[in-house]
Amino acid sequence: MKKKTKILMVYPEMPATFWSMKYSLKLAGYKALMPPLGLLTVAAMLPDNYDVKLIDMAVRPLTIQDIIRADMVFISAMQIQKNSFDKVVRMCNDCGVTVVAGGPYPSASCNEIKGIDHYIFNEAENTLPRFLRDYELGCPQKEYRDPGKPDITKTPAPRLDLINPGDYKCMALQFSRGCPFNCEFCDIIQMFGRVPRTKLPEQFIAEMELIYNAGFRGPLFVVDDNFIGNKSKVKALLHEVIHWQKEHGYPFYLMTETSVDLAQDDELMDLMLEAGLGDVFLGIESPNPETLADIDKKQNIRTDLYESVKKIQGKGFEVMGGFIIGFDTDPENIFDMQVDFIQRAGIPQAMVGLLSVIPTTRLYDRLEKEDRILGLPTGDNLAVSLNFIPKMPADKLIAGYKQVISTIYTPKNYFKRCMTFIKQLPESHIIWALRSQNRDKNFYKTGNHQVFRQTLAMVLLVISMTFSPYGLEFIKYLFKSLKYNRKYIICILALAFNGYHYFKMRKLVLES
pLDDT in tens, 466-491: 999 999 999 999 999 999 988 888 88
Instruction: Give me the sign of the Cα torsion angle 152, 154, 155, 160.
Output: positive
The SS3 call for residue 489 is helix
Residues 231 and 370 in one domain: yes
Q: Do both 126 and 179 map to the same domain?
A: no
Domain-located, residue 358: yes
Full domain range(s) for residue 410: 170-422
The pLDDT confidence band at residue 450, using thresholds 50, 70 and 90, is low
Domain contains 490: no
From 422, 438, 458, give the residue that closes a domain.
422
- The predicted pLDDT at position 444 comes to 42
Tell me whether residue 483 is in a domain. Answer: no
Structural domain contains residue 251: yes
Which of the two residues, 28 and 243, has the higher pLDDT score? 243
Residue 436 has a pLDDT of 55
298: DSSP letter = G
**Alpha-carbon distance 123 to 306, whole Å?**
37
The least confident of 29-33, 57-61, 322-326 is 29-33
Predicted pLDDT at 455: 75
Dump pLDDT digits (tens) for 485-506.
888 888 899 899 999 999 999 9
Q: Are residues 284 and 327 in the same domain?
A: yes
Q: Are residues 238 and 345 in the same domain?
A: yes
441 pLDDT above the threshold of 50: no
Q: Let me know whether 112 and 214 are in one domain.
A: no
Residue 449 has pLDDT above 90, yes or no: no
pLDDT at 345: 98
CA 152 to each of CA 125, 146, 209, 371: distance values in angstroms, whole numbers, following the listed order:
8, 15, 18, 39
Instruction: Give dist(CA 163, CA 35) in Å, integer.
Output: 8
The mean pLDDT of 217-223, rounded to a whole number, is 94
- The domain total for the chain is 2
Q: Is there a single domain that holds both residue 271 and residue 403?
A: yes
Note whether 57 and 174 are same-domain residues: no
138 and 52 share a domain?
yes
Which one-letter DSSP state was computed for residue 277?
Answer: E
Q: How far is CA 59 from the centre of its chain?
A: 18
Confirm whether 214 is domain-assigned.
yes
Say yes or no: 85 and 229 in one domain.
no
pLDDT of residue 268 exceeding 90, the answer is: yes
128 and 229 housed in the same domain: no
pLDDT (0 to 100) of residue 253: 93
Note whether residue 223 is domain-resident: yes
Distances, alpha carbon 465 to alpha carbons 483, 487, 494, 497, in Å: 19, 21, 13, 9
Q: Are residues 136 and 178 in the same domain?
A: no
Predicted pLDDT of residue 433: 66
Q: What is the pLDDT of residue 446?
A: 45
Higher-confidence residue of 452 and 275: namely 275
Domain end (from 378, 407, 422)? 422
78 inside domain: yes
Inform me whether the pLDDT recorded for 17 exceeds 90: no
Q: Nearest-CA neighbor of 494 among 309, 343, 279, 339?
A: 279
Which residue, of 127, 144, 161, is where some domain finishes? 144
CATH number of the domain encompassing residue 229: 3.20.20.70
Phi, psi of 472 (to 5 degrees): -65, -45
Q: Are 228 and 95 in the same domain?
A: no
Give me the pLDDT at residue 440, please: 43
- The CATH number given to whatever domain includes residue 66 is 3.40.50.280
Spell out the alpha helix ranges (H) of 198-257: 201-213, 231-248
Pick 201 or 108 by higher pLDDT: 201
On whether residue 150 sits in a domain, the answer given is no
Rounded Cα distance, 30 and 59, in Å = 9
Determine the average pLDDT of the residues in 348-372: 95
Instruction: Please report which confidence band the pLDDT of residue 198 belongs to, taking 50, 70 and 90 as the band edges.
Output: very high
